[in-house]
Structures are given as structure tokens and as C-alpha cells.
């Protein structure tokens, strides 16, 4: 559900009464509720991140002014993966896509632009046949490889990262043992089996303990942009991270989690009750008797209960930070 959907749900919930609260006010209530959830929630988010193929979505790399036709700009992250670039631009009444061909050339299907990209640095040059529209953003989506580096961009739906686990899959020495290959499933003598197990244990120790994997989380100042995790001593041959953190609801996100919606919908309903009760209380001041105070108190009680529930569910974050 998006903000308009939640607004419609609230109107349906109060369909048996004539709301004094306007639709723009209800939409603002929903926006405020999402903002409160983002700042107070500890909803756990766990994702696997492939260091070799991280997707960057809707990054702004330029803005049209109605005059300039040639642009030189760069992606925020690099190196860029070949054949992963999609650029969106607007010229006159046309909004079109620009793609890379895997060898560094950029072009669109309408022949409105030509350009190049240097995958290693992310430097892009574009030449339009007509200037992009004034104040229209030039947006790019692309893939980036962080394998072998020291930093990895994290999607903005992570408001906080609490832990990172390198997803290393060690190669089992049993599979490469000469006797195993020659004879298949066989009974090995005690000395050989003990040697294999000791070697396997030492290999795992080198992967997980000997590397002394360390990381730090650097959130972006703009919550709509990607934060960055800086790391060092990544285990050998590892290209996957398991990221554990707290979720942020993004602008215009289609919220699908039943747990989040259950809290958000009824929190918004409680706020609308308070708003309606406040309206009715104002009528009581001028001599119109009503139950505005009752409705306001009911909404406030529900709001306080939901805030307490959110605080209790987010206590694991405090423990994660402490240790």
C-alpha cells in the first residue's frame, strides 16, 4: 500500500460518518506516521548483498537547463558493470531510455543522444541533438562491483546496519582428497581421516578467525540516498555479505509487510480520531454539545499503546549496539 491507498483505507474506515478532516490533512497524517515509524522503529531487515553485482537505482547525474546539449558527469560508485547501464532523459515531449552496449558506447532507440561511459571510473559523456528540458533530471540505474574493494553501497531502505556476516562457503577437503576421488565412498584409515579433518578445521579457522573481518557503517545525509559500508579483511574468495539492520520506509514505497501495515494503519486511524475529536471540541466551545473529548481521548489512548508497542519491538537494536 502507498500513501494514497492508506488514505483511501482511512476514509473507508470512517465511511459511516462525515469527516471534518480534509483529504490533504489525512495524507499529511499518513506521511507523519511513516516519519514517526522510520525514526522509532526497530523492524529487522536482512538481505544478502552480492559484491559483484550491486544495483544502483535512480541516481541523478545531471539536470537539464533547456540550453546545454553536451554533458560530462560521473556515477557516484564505480567500477560500473558493463551492459548494466540505463539512463532516463527528457527532450521536448519525449522521455526516453539510453543504454550501454557493453563496450562503453551509449545510445537510445530514437537517435536523440550519443555518448560513452568509462566503466572503470564511471565517467559519462552525453551529447543530445536537442537540449534536455529545463529542470528535468538525468537519471541513471546501473550495476557496480565491490568485489575486491573496501566499500559497498547499501540500499536506502536500511536506516541502520547492526551486523554483517561474510557468507563464505569453504571448499571441503573431503571432495578433493586423492583417495576419495580414486575409490569413491570408501573407509579411510584413521590417520588419513584425522589429517583431513584437522586440515579442514585449520582452513575454516583461516577463513573466519584469521582474517579479523571488520566493518563500519556510514549512513547518507539524505535518507533517500544509499549509505556505505566500509570493510577490511574480507575472507578469501567471499563475494556475498549477509546484512542485518533496521528498515526504513522509502518515499512512494509500496508497503507489503503485514506487520508494518498492521501498525501503520491503526496508528493513522488513531491520529485521525484525535484530529476529528479536536475538531468536535472546538464546536463544543461555541455551545454545540458533542463527544469530541471522548473521541480525542480514545484516539490518544490507541496512539500511546501503538507507540509503546513499537518501542518494545525495537529494543533489540539497543542490545545490538551495546555488544
CATH assignment of the domain containing 73: 2.60.40
Grid coordinates 570493510 are at which residue? 231
Total domains in the chain come to 3
Assess whether 62 and 115 both reside in one domain. yes
Let me know if residue 261 belongs to a domain: yes
pLDDT for the residue 211:
60
What is the Cα–Cα distance from 227 to 158, expressed in whole angstroms? 8
How many of the other CB atoms lie within 10 Å of CB of 254? 8
Assess whether 238 and 290 both reside in one domain. no
Q: Which domain holds residue 305?
A: 3-43+257-322
Let me know if residue 156 belongs to a domain: no
Task: Provide Rg for the chain, Cα atoms.
Answer: 28
Given 77, 111, 145, which residue is the final one in a domain? 145
Q: Reduce the secondary structure of 7-23 to three states and give it as a string.
A: HHHHHHHCCCCCCCCCH
Assess whether 79 and 106 both reside in one domain. yes
Let me know if residue 190 belongs to a domain: yes
Instruction: Choose among 283, 275, 51, 296: nearest CA to 150.
Output: 51
* Cβ-contact 26, 11 below 8 angstroms: yes
Assess whether 126 and 178 both reside in one domain. no
Q: What is the pLDDT along the chain (323 residues), one digit of tens a residue?
A: 899 999 999 999 888 878 888 899 999 999 999 999 998 988 999 999 888 778 888 788 889 998 999 999 999 888 899 999 999 999 988 899 999 999 999 999 989 999 999 998 899 999 999 999 988 889 999 988 776 678 888 888 898 899 888 876 655 544 555 555 555 544 455 666 666 667 766 666 655 554 678 889 888 888 778 888 888 888 766 788 889 999 999 888 899 999 999 999 999 999 999 888 887 776 655 454 556 777 788 888 888 888 888 888 877 666 555 44
Task: Write down the pTM of the prediction.
Answer: 0.70
In sign, the C-alpha dihedral spanning 296, 297, 303, 307 is positive
Q: In residues, how long is the chain?
A: 323
155 Cβ contact partners less than 8 Å away, ≥ 6 residues apart: 47, 226
Name the packing angle between helices 292-313 and 23-40 (round to 10°).
Answer: 30
Let me know if residue 99 belongs to a domain: yes
What is the Cα–Cα distance from 88 to 68, expressed in whole angstroms? 16
Let me know if residue 151 belongs to a domain: no
Let me know if residue 228 belongs to a domain: yes
Amino acid at each position: 500500500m502507498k500513501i494514497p491507498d492508506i488514505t483511501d483505507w482511512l476514509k473507508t474506515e470512517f465511511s459511516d460518518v462525515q469527516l471534518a478532516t480534509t483529504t490533504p490533512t489525512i495524507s499529511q497524517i499518513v506521511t507523519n506516521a511513516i516519519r514517526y515509524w522510520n525514526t522509532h522503529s526497530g523492524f529487522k531487515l536482512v538481505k544478502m548483498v552480492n559484491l559483484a553485482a550491486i544495483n544502483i537505482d535512480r541516481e541523478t547525474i545531471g539536470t537539464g537547463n533547456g540550453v546545454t546539449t553536451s554533458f560530462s558527469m560521473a556515477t557516484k560508485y564505480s567500477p560500473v558493470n558493463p551492459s548494466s547501464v540505463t539512463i532516463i532523459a527528457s527532450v521536448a515531449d519525449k522521455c526516453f531510455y539510453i543504454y550501454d552496449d557493453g563496450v562503453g558506447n551509449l545510445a537510445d532507440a530514437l537517435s536523440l543522444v550519443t555518448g560513452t561511459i568509462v566503466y572503470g571510473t564511471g565517467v559519462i559523456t552525453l551529447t543530445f541533438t536537442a537540449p534536455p528540458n529545463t529542470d528535468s533530471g538525468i537519471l541513471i540505474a546501473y550495476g557496480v562491483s565491490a568485489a575486491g574493494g573496501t566499500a559497498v553501497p547499501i540500499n536506502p531502505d536500511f536506516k541502520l546496519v547492526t551486523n554483517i556476516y561474510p557468507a563464505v562457503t569453504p571448499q571441503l577437503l573431503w571432495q578433493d582428497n586423492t583417495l576419495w576421488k580414486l575409490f569413491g565412498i570408501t573407509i579411510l584409515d584413521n590417520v588419513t581421516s584425522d589429517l583431513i579433518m584437522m586440515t579442514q578445521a585449520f582452513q575454516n579457522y583461516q577463513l573466519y578467525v584469521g582474517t579479523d573481518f571488520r566493518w563500519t557503517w556510514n549512513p547518507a545525509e539524505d535518507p533517500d540516498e544509499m549509505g556505505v559500508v566500509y570493510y577490511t579483511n574480507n575472507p578469501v574468495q567471499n563475494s556475498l555479505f549477509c546484512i542485518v539492520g533496521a528498515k526504513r520506509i522509502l518515499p512512494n514505497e509500496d508497503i507489503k509487510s503485514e506487520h508494518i501495515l498492521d501498525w501503520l494503519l491503526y496508528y493513522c486511524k488513531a491520529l485521525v480520531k484525535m484530529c476529528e475529536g479536536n475538531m468536535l471540541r472546538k464546536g463544543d466551545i461555541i455551545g454545540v454539545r458533542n463527544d469530541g473529548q471522548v473521541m480525542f481521548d480514545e484516539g490518544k489512548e490507541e496512539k500511546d499503546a501503538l507507540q509503546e508497542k513499537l518501542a518494545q519491538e525495537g529494543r533489540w537494536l539497543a542490545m545490538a549496539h551495546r555488544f
